[in-house]
Structure 1
Amino acid sequence: MNDLDFLTADLPEDVNNLIYCGKFEEASRLIDIYLARNISNVLKQRLNFEKYRIDVLKNEYIYTFEEALDLAQEKIEDFTRQELQELKDQRYADWIYIEGREMFGRRFLDNIIKVHPTIKDRLRIKEKEDEAEKDFLDNTIKEIIEKGKKGYFIHLKTGIKIKNEHVRINETVRVHLPIPQKAQQISNIKILNTSQTAKFISPETYPQRTIFFEEQLKENESFTVEYSYENHVKYVNPDFNKVLKRQPKFHTNEWLPQINFSPFLIDLATEIVKDEKNPLLKARKIYDYITQNVQYSYVRPYVSIVNIPEYGAYNLKGDCGVQALLFITLCRIVGIPAKWQSGLYVTPYGVGPHDWAQFYIEPYGWLFADLSFGGSAYRAKNERIWNFYFGNLDPFRMVANSEFHYDILPEKRFLRSDPYDNQVGEVEYLDKGLSRNEFDVIMDIIDVHEI
């Protein structure tokens, strides 16, 4: 169910034209006409997926220009129509055409407030910025650099609860929840408690590790898992002059459909690294390009983006995962082993999903790259933290996934709400899968302390 290699195939020209114009109803009708013709199986899969993708887009882009303007003016003082137009042009407000109208994404306003450098100063109700959390991370990184290492014990309770309008009492529901995997920085993992008896728990080293439940759904039922683990990081200050000439070739291949060495990305990678031969310097050039040029932005569900790295490179915007996958793809194109890590970012102040990358350089082994944290530091003119996140990570990560686009166990019967990554969980009934908008996520911090 999770094989999406057909996404490398293009759509028929007339279908593409309608999709680009946002004429989704007409595109769906035309897709049905194509599906009745004698076409290849790959094209059938691609066309059926496009109908699903259209539904995702229609569910994600829900505000007209006037509705978006009203929402912005409710929150931001002296906000004008011209400003909204300019924020569209400057990549702050995500939008597409749907049936002849400009439609804005669900989180367009959250993104403007989070990313724009001055808008937050004009909020009618000022959002409290937690300087303590920023200072906490800054001081932690300072200590890691000075002392060379740091470790944390983390205890969480995570899970999902199906929203009332999607609850089917007494029907079989299948739930996969992400849990910590054994990784370079993660050890001493303990599953402490579960809301129901687990039917299956993936091995500790499985690339997308989950705990699986299958139950007859009861009223007001949640599915949760409580676990603890340790995160130990050691500071690395890689020296370009100590890099070995002989470098490995693992994790330098394509991984379709997303890690795709397209002509556009090959050209971009070549332009970034130019004639550089040192693999560490090549990786640093790619890191610098992304952190300096790709603006952080919330994005629509990954399942609706046909080529995620190209989306980041063409639009010069993207969230942590888009930036990490662009880094991985560009590194692999120039022969540097690179792979995915993702899960949660957890501090005493909060918890939430996050993605980052790893890359391999002899004699140092696997190093880390957090493009979105690094980019934030670069924009804040904090060179120390910008440099830190090339090669290093803070100790506040829960690693659930070490590969991008990998099956979960047991395999889902229907397409995953996120077929590429798993940070919050997956839910399905016996006759359909649930989208991310059909269930709530539970993330409770029980304990975070230094060890």
Structure 2
Amino acid sequence: MAVRTEWPEEGKLVVDGPVGCTDEVSNDDYRFLVVGLPAEIERLKQAGYLREAVHACDELLSGDITPELAACLRVERHRMGRLAKQFCVTRADALAAIRSEWPDFTEKQLDDLIARKRIDTRFIEGEQRFLDNFLDSLRVYPHEVPGLKKEESRDLEMRDAMLDRMHEKGGLTCEIALKVSIDIPGATPGEMLRAWLPVPAACPQQSDIDVYDWTPGVLVAKEDAPARTAFWGSRENHSFEASYRYRIHAPYVDTCAPAPAEHVVADDTVTDDDLAELAPHIVFTPYLCTLTARVVGDIERPIDQARAIYDYITKNVDYRYQPPYAQLDCIPDNCAKSLRGDCGVMALTFITMCRIAGIPARWQSGLYVSPDYVGPHDWAMFHTDEFGWLWADCSFGSSARREGNEARRLHYFGNLDPWRMVANSQYQAELTPASNGVRWDPFDNQMGEATVEGRGCDEDEMRRAIELVEMHEV
């Protein structure tokens, strides 16, 4: 089987309807969420009258409006169309789900959890609805929901032992092999199905990458692609898989000690993009600018400024499962106000605050790969003249604080671990080839995307899996 290195023109189709029509939203339209809905439509959306709000969007789109507002209306219309599907659990069903494990649970306790922001809700056509995975968010805080089954435990002692070895050796290297797959069971034979699975990309900590087995017809993007994928286009298959191996090295740097003579990342390049805004999320809002100035204060050393930002996030932001990122507005600004978020939300908040402070910062994402768990994960890189490029994992830092492990919280400022797979080096990067339909997640790709006849698949239309094949330290 030969790996193709180019794709015919039909694979480069991009859907981009003319201004003033209600054609399918394009992925590029998400950049214009910062424009904002007209006030009367925004009020309908927030009140949960989605049908009226969508109709109002259609009315405006049929008239003479600016391209920027048209793009915002298209993407907002699309998001509202998905909202009811994602917030699909009624209040009665939410109570029943909790009471199936905790029979004495009361409605007042439910309202208390909502008020404490442990549960995310929306109003859909006037009715309060919950995310389908709201129970998972509750299990993160077992002391607040003692009647629920605890979330599946992971071997934190094994992770802490690995971090100890990192500190002793000045770093740690792993060789890892994974098998990933995506299946679109509802696709009809003869329909053109396209699928993208993330695979390891060349980056400062990752090397010796080998995609060694795959479903025939694969196109593997270049190693330095900002969102590296294995891609297929087929009218016969609806299931695709790839196996790969790679080596990942996690250096250890004590950021409280003098900077090492040589930076741990050899490439010290900083670009304008590392300090720039990137709508709709990496935006220097007035609140974030004020908050960053307060957090950084009169600290002079950039490494200590970045540490102050990391400390603020990890000590104040609590973990909570999020709706799909396509549904979130200005992620860092809302995280800073709500003090809730998941790994990507915290990473984006750190990156944005660093850039506001004049500290170059970048996105990295892919998988967390431990012996007992493999799943999507996001984190950040940041740069100072003293230390060069280093890493920050605010999510792991926040969970360490929650568990009372200060040593682990401190570790994840400046350092990661070798239990990772890096597929993405840019937030909001395009796939290869560009998606011909609106993506499930237009900002990141950790588990895979698919389209059928140019229509982007929803999460529940895709079956995506990851299998750990081999993992050992070297």
The TM-score normalised by the length of structure 1 is 0.94
Structure 1 regions of 5+ residues with no counterpart?
A: none
1:279-336 deviations in Å (ceiling 9; x for gaps):
1111111111111111101110111112111221121111100000000000000100
CA 1:37–1:205 in 2, change beyond 3 Å: closer, same or farther? same
Q: Which moved more, 1:389-398 or 1:67-76?
A: 67-76
Residue type of the partner of 2:172?
K
Specify the alignment match of 1:294 in structure 2. 317
Contact 2:142 2:150 in 1 (8 A): no
CA RMSD of aligned residues (A): 1.9
In 1, Cα distance between equivalents of 2:46 and 2:230? 40
In 1, Cα distance between equivalents of 2:123 and 2:93? 15
CA 1:184–1:248 in 2, change beyond 3 Å: closer, same or farther? closer
Specify the alignment match of 1:187 in structure 2. 207
Which of residues 215, 233, 239 is equivalent to 1:214? 233
Specify the alignment match of 1:410 in structure 2. 433
Is the aligned partner of 1:13 residue 2:33? no
Specify the alignment match of 1:377 in structure 2. 400
Is the aligned partner of 1:89 residue 2:115? yes
Cα shift at 1:242? 5.1
Is the aligned partner of 1:26 residue 2:38? no
1:328-352 deviations in Å (ceiling 9; x for gaps):
0000001000010000011111210
For residues 312-391 of structure 1, the aligned pairs below 5 Å read 312-391=335-414
Residue type of the partner of 1:256?
A
Which of residues 152, 173, 177 is equivalent to 2:197? 177
Is the aligned partner of 1:134 residue 2:160? no
Specify the alignment match of 2:224 in structure 1. 205
Specify the alignment match of 2:248 in structure 1. 231
In 2, Cα distance between equivalents of 1:138 and 1:240? 21
Aligned residues: 441
1:394-421 deviations in Å (ceiling 9; x for gaps):
1000000010001111111112111100
The TM-score normalised by the length of structure 2 is 0.89
In 2, Cα distance between equivalents of 1:430 and 1:236? 49
In 1, Cα distance between equivalents of 2:191 and 2:470? 35
In 1, Cα distance between equivalents of 2:409 and 2:143? 18
In 2, Cα distance between equivalents of 1:249 and 1:207? 14
Structure 2 regions of 5+ residues with no counterpart?
A: 1-25, 262-268
Partner-residue secondary structure (3-state), 2:381? strand
Residue type of the partner of 2:328?
I
Is the aligned partner of 1:146 residue 2:146? no
Contact 1:176 1:427 in 2 (8 A): yes
User: What's the % identity of the aligned pairs?
Assistant: 38
Is the aligned partner of 1:269 residue 2:292? yes
CA 1:129–1:5 in 2, change beyond 3 Å: closer, same or farther? closer
CA 1:306–1:217 in 2, change beyond 3 Å: closer, same or farther? farther
Cα shift at 1:241? 6.0
Which of residues 80, 89, 96 is equivalent to 1:70? 96
Is the aligned partner of 1:61 residue 2:84? no
Cα shift at 1:202? 1.1
Q: Which moved more, 1:351-360 or 1:143-152?
A: 143-152
In 1, Cα distance between equivalents of 2:343 and 2:364? 11
Q: Which moved more, 1:36-45 or 1:315-324?
A: 36-45
Partner-residue secondary structure (3-state), 2:197? strand
Is the aligned partner of 1:399 residue 2:416? no
Residue type of the partner of 2:236?
L
Specify the alignment match of 1:157 in structure 2. 179
